[in-house]
Every structure is written in C-alpha cells, then in structure tokens.
Chain A
C-alpha cells in the first residue's frame, strides 16, 4: 500500500526571450495503490510535466511530492527507493527502448539495480516478466527492439516498468503511438496487471473514451490547472467545467452522428 501525493506543486520553465512559462500551477492530488486515475488534457496542458515530476526527471519549482507522507529526497538511497516504487511507461515504444541493447538487457537492468531477486534468479525473473506481459520469452529475449512490432515493444516497456515491483505506475499515453487495432490489447493488459498487483495507475491520455474505459476517476488538466476531478462516468456524463464539456463534445460520439464508422476507439468502452 503506497500513496503518492502532489501538494501545491508548481513548475516554471524559463523560455529564452519571453520570460517564464507556468507549466503547472498549484496542482494537488493523491494516487493510492489499487486506484486508477486518468489524467486528461490537450497537448501543452502540463500532462507530461506531471509525469516528469513524478519520475523526478525534473524537479518541481515549488510544492511537495510525497510518498506515504515523506517528501522525495533529491538524491541518494532515498530517491532510489522512491524510484523503485514509482515506475513509468513512456509514450513512444520506438524511442523508449535502446536500439543497441537486447530485450534481456532492458528488463534485467532494473532487476539488478534494485536487487529485486538474487543474481542467479535474474534470468528466470526476466522470463517470468515477459510471460506476464503475454510475450514468448524464448522467441524474444535475445532480440533487439527494432525486430519487434510496436505492440510488442510497448509490452516490453511495461515488463521493464514492472520489474522493480512498483506499487505505482505512470502510463504516459501508452497506446497513442500504436496501431488502432492493437491499442485495446495493450490497454486490457494494463488493466489486468493493475488488478493482479493492486497497482496504482496514473493513465495520461487525451482520449476521453479510453479514459472512461480504463479508470475509476478522471482528472482534467487545462493550462497547468486541474479544472475537474471526479468518478469517470460522472465527469463524462455530467461535466462541471466548460473545458471538460468542450473536450467531451470534441471527441467523436458513435451514437450521435457517424454510427459504427467512427466507433473504432469507443467500442472498447463497452467490451
């Protein structure tokens, strides 16, 4: 059981020539294991900044990020323990795996870094992790990323994120770079893994339909401010903020105009 808390977090970037840009403005929320929250917003709304701050690739300008009530240390063993608990799946599986290294290397590294299992069990654990993401270890373990399809790569990235046995997972638009036909498979895999391990998942997306399908709660981010948060169905069916309403009306609705033709992304919601 772990809880991640954002307490009044702001992030300011310096932009050459035009002063600074407030990417996040006083954002607060909590994410507990077992819980799934969808973070929805258009590009530039600050979604990725939240992901970067959670993974501590960047440090917040002000405010606190707390894990189980303790602020994240800047460096050292404490930061390592935090990173072992909170892992991230990147958006682009074509870029998030090192083209030079094998699949084995990618999954082995977190195992060794965090000493998850004794050395002699590393190989078995790599295979177990590949099986958990429904990949065939014998076929893939010694291959390099370019020999895999986009869906396979994203599964490898998920296995890598799970290797350190985290309690919280950040998934930054994990299916937006994949073919529409395989998106659902990857999303359902994430949902299964979330239930099996009682993970807390922050699902970052710009797609309201998958957000509703995948998560219990939806949090809407607009220009660095959280404008609305609530149960998924409530936010979709009865949006309080006008930005949420605009966002909902902008996404294709199969019932309204196009029938089955535009339903490719939303049919998932019913299955």
Chain B
C-alpha cells in the first residue's frame, strides 16, 4: 500500500538534470538518472536478486518444487533442507525459488499492461480538455473507487483454470487507475508549459508533441506508476493464491502459504510459512525503495529535508524552533 503520494501532488517543478553529451549511450543513462540514488539502487539490487532466482531457478534450487521425500516430513531447517520440509516432504526452499518465477511473471506482466493503459488514458485525458477529458477522468476514478480484489475473486472463480496471463490481465485492469490519475495531472501541467506551446506553434504534429516532447518528461512518473502496479499485483496474486482462487498448479509464494494454512502449519512449523511471507515483504520493500528514489528525484525537497536539518543542528539550532530554511532558487541557470 505505498503510493507515490508526492509525485501525484508535487508537479515536477524541478526539471531533471541531464548529462552533457547527447550520445545514444548517455541518453540511455539519462533515462535512468532517477535510479541513481542509494534507495533506488538498494531496491534494484534486491529486485535483481529475485530476478536471478526466477531465471536460474532450475539450476539453483536443490530439489524439484514438488519432489517428495517421505522420510523427511515437516522437518525443521537442516543442512539437507535449508528451510525445512512440508507435510509431504517437499523442500520449502526449492518451492520458494520456483515460486519466484510465478510471482515475477504475473507482477511484471500486470505492471506492463496496467502502465500501458494508464499512459494511453492518462496522457490522453491530460492533453485533451473539456467534457472528453472529464469523462476519461471519471472513468479513471470509477476504477479507482471500485474495490478490485472482490471483483478479481469473482472473475477468477468463473474459470476452472485461469492462465497466468488472464490473472495478470485482471490484476492490470483493476490496478491501472492510480497511475492513470497521476499521469493525467502531470500531463495537464506539461500541456501548458511553454515548450509544448512552442512545439505547437511550430506546427509539430500531435503524435510527435506527445511522444517526443511530453513523454520523455513523464518517464519518472511512468516508472513510479509501473513500480506501484507491480507491487499491487504481487500482493494481489499472492492473496488470490492464498485464498485458493488461483489453481495450485501455478506455484508461487501465495500457494506455499495456502498449503501451509491447509495443512496445519500454524503455528508450530514456522519454517513453512515465515520465509514465503518474508519474501513477499522483501520484494514489496525493494519496489517501495525504488519508488522512494524516484519520488525524491521528482520532489527534491524530500531528499534535502534530512540533510538540511542535520546541517542546521550542527550549527546548534534545533529544527522545530528555528526558521525553517531558505528555499532553493527555482530554475537555477
């Protein structure tokens, strides 16, 4: 439940810094400037770890996810089974490693679909005006207000064996609205900027104004809404798996918790249910960190607040009773 609150409210008043030369490589680098801070990097490293687990799961995991060893049932962690075994003698660590794949595929697929919808609807609603913009905005708000999870539960329960893509699609349809809303607000503020007006006055075609002049300035917001929807999709998927709406053949961390719950793992067999939940939290934390980094990039006041206050205290002033700060000049040349 971490939304990029500030990105929504603080209209990108400080324009991103860009490197000097315009080679394609440094251009690519420029697009990643929002990730160049300790928080984002920490998040990306954790995320990268899970991606490696997902990709090389077959090589890394010591056992097959459903390989049963009836001589070792409900074993606590040991040298042979680092995270113990289930009631069927399955290795919990291997299940978690294989489960990573399902979580990441659905999470990223839902994130991509949702971001596409959010960009198309949000940017369109922000660029056009009048009743058409208002109705797109109302549509976005309807999707935001409708409780998504009950809807997903009902839709998923209509299918005997919903495919991963269907699950991702439903998660995306119920999860794009927040990003769409933020993008609309940002696009509306961009639309009235002089450089967009200048492009219009030059006779640039509409598609070029949107894709070449506006979208690059929205990358931070788009990235942040992507990360936000992936987080929501991971939570949604594991929740659905836990309550048993998604078939158990689709192995993910939620499925592990489903089995643990069904087979009386609580509270004694802690190794069966603690690691899977921690993995969900750790992945969520990594994504949240990436988003904090983007947030601070979009709204530099967040970044400098801590440093400035510390500097003040060094000079012997306390924060709460001193006059706060001199605001950094806007648009430094």
Contacts and interface: CB of A to CB of B under 8 A. Distances in A.
Do chains A and B stick together as partners? yes
B201 A149 contact: no
Interface residues of A, number: 38
B194 A100 contact: no
B130 to A, nearest CB: 11
Given A102-B22, A146-B18, A150-B333, A95 B200 contact: no
A79 B195 contact: no
Contact of A88 (B21, B22, B198): B198
A100 B18 contact: yes
A87 B201 contact: yes
B48 interface: no
Interface in A129-157: 142-144, 146-150, 153, 157
A99 B194 contact: no
Interface string B210-233: 000100110000000000000000
A57 B201 contact: yes
Interface in A75-93: 79-80, 83-84, 87-88, 90-92
B199 A95 contact: no
Chain A binding surface, main DSSP class: loop
A160 B198 contact: yes
Contacts of A104: 22
A83 B203 contact: yes
B166 to A, nearest CB: 37
A55 interface: yes
Nearest to B12: A99
Nearest to B15: A99
B204 A109 contact: yes
A110 B217 CA distance: 20
A206 to B, nearest CB: 18
B71 interface: no
B315 interface: no
A148 to B, nearest CB: 7
Given A57-B201, A79-B203, A95 B194 contact: yes
B20 A142 contact: yes
A43 interface: no
B193 interface: yes
A67 to B, nearest CB: 14
Nearest to B21: A142
The 10 closest A-B pairs by CB, nearest first: A96-B194, A99-B15, A100-B216, A95-B194, A55-B201, A98-B195, A94-B331, A144-B18, A83-B203, A142-B22
Interface of A: 55-57, 79-80, 83-84, 87-88, 90-92, 94-102, 104, 109-110, 113-114, 142-144, 146-150, 153, 157, 160, 164
Interface of B: 15-18, 20-22, 193-195, 197-204, 213, 216-217, 331, 333
